[in-house]
Amino acid sequence: MRPTWPHSALTLPFFLMDNAALLAKKGFAETLVWQKKDEFSPAHELLKTLTEDFDVKFYICASCVKHYGLDKAELIRGAEIKPGSFLGEMLLERQSLTF
């Protein structure tokens, strides 16, 4: 059974910048080894849940894609390359949280 958001019309977009852009590369999250066993869910499991169960969109900073040598063929499901100005648009259109 697919989980639902408390308000089904809500979407939860992520804008990945700098090192976080690497999370959009297929297979990268599985290589993260700094997480201690049983402390947190592994990053690759969280990404899988977000993409498969909640159909989350990941927007990737276009400049970061160039910097880290990522290309569209390598990206995870739900990932899309966008310019930094798109982040500004997202923040202006909705109540947002960034960190």
* Residue range 45-84, pLDDT digits in tens: 999 999 888 888 999 999 999 899 887 668 999 899 999 8
Q: Would you state the structure tokens that stand for residue 2, as one six-digit string?
A: 């697919």
- H or E element in which residue 63 lies: helix 62-68
**CA–CA gap between residue 37 and residue 71 (Å, rounded):** 31
Q: What is the edge-to-edge ordering of all strands in the sheet holding 14-16? A: 14-16, 58-61, 79-82
- pLDDT category of residue 6 using cuts at 50, 70 and 90: low
- pLDDT category of residue 94 using cuts at 50, 70 and 90: confident
